[in-house]
Structure 1
């Protein structure tokens, strides 16, 4: 491939965009095997354009798209391309009101479970491409997707190590709609807002300690030290037991080590319960944590609809400054006196 003009990325490590004379080359890197390419796309405006054979040719702007994850909706909405979505997965778990409306009136087809897509209906729908998180390219579902001949666009923003890196994937999505300039502009605004809020947190006089999640069937999953969540805890002016851990993703533990390491934590975030009473009924040992005793426990369920669609898993990816503001409000309420929580809420 000829050396074209590389688009500058500030935070994202998982992809690159290079502008060539006749096409745009979008490369997705393999997060599981360093240095390897996971997928390559050649974006053309004329189907007759000749491109190298080491990638998939896709004509842009896309007119139709099946979205295998709800995390793309806010990017598409910001870019003004939400109406291009013709297929989604597990519609009952979606929050975005416009998507739900279009499912109801039959403009969007529900293709079922994202791990077991309804390939028959997908083939009838025949979108120009399917965007998917690529949890595992070797699974049967991914193999079927590739075999059905519809281009598969792998979007792995969830593997990034900061909220801003995840949000920068709007540039990746924008490229497939020939809206790179708009995506750049939108991201610059997101970055500016995030930095403004983060700089406010650095003025805090103390760093409250926090813990995350809860035990589920004997396993308590907590953010690893190099995960985007742990990075956000730092940006919000919090202190986190695993912040010096050098792995990304998550750490699996259980309630006994959690009690040893987090019993004195000031704030507890990311529980699934709706009240302290409900939380204690799942495990009476939760009452031993200081955060529980003081009532400083939060979930991310403020923006949920009746069927369980949660906006935290949708718009928060594209608007990290709101997630950060929520966390600062919980850790340092005096810094954001007039701010109302967007996604988080305190358990009663």
Structure 2
């Protein structure tokens, strides 16, 4: 197969560059935990009557939940996604072009988003996790961000879980990330007062100047998070969108108002710890009648039409700003993934694989 060149128009089989997990990961992921492989060959023709779809991947999404899929699976714990298998490509959300299809719902040339492999080409029969790109007047990359998983996560987690009201006080942790930047802007569109926390001066500047948060602070510069929250929320917090966990959650619980709501989206500070930090202020849940609820984006998929109707006009009229951190090429995948867990990215982290 070494003489086969994917640039040859007549070629039916090509080398398929893939990003593989080397082995299960303990502690912080390292670039050496991943392998770039060109050993796999793939046919560019879908087998007849297979109902398969062949995708050319264009953008791949880096997401914090990947960390939970890198560990050795614990079959006593049910997770939305199966764990990554060492020696096989990672998988996640992406935007792709249909190169060939034996499925009635997809035809050659269609642009789609949904679950795909971390590879140049993916042959799949799992078409229930693929969605056609309905609006090509926006950046295709938005379908792994503001118009994809990050968008519906922010929309459902904020509106469906928190039920915000005008003039309420909203706090968002890890606010410069793919989801947090949207939650803060949704809060502003609702008429709320919103403050975000992030881990660098650059990100704090983005929150205040680009995303139009009312205020923001660098949690790494705060010796006392409880005091910091009292400074930014002298009247208390009505809604907390939780992306961080640990000491931040502990401090927030003390500063919530009566009947406050906490939407638990993630806990990025805890993912790489062998033993997670304890939370000591849970008694505030009943002292102040606080509702704290975790959620999965999957439970909001039925809201996609309503979500798109809400978000698209705001994008087109520049009332919603979305920042992306785009790494170029499959080779940049390990660095992009590792950087996600050290807070290196600003905005939504994704990998650009190929043009249409």
TM-score normalized by structure 1?
A: 0.30
Answer 1 or 2: which has greater helix percent: 1
Output the TM-score relative to the length of structure 2. 0.30
User: Greater share of strand residues, 1 or 2?
Assistant: 2
Higher relative contact order (CA 8 A, sep 6+): 2
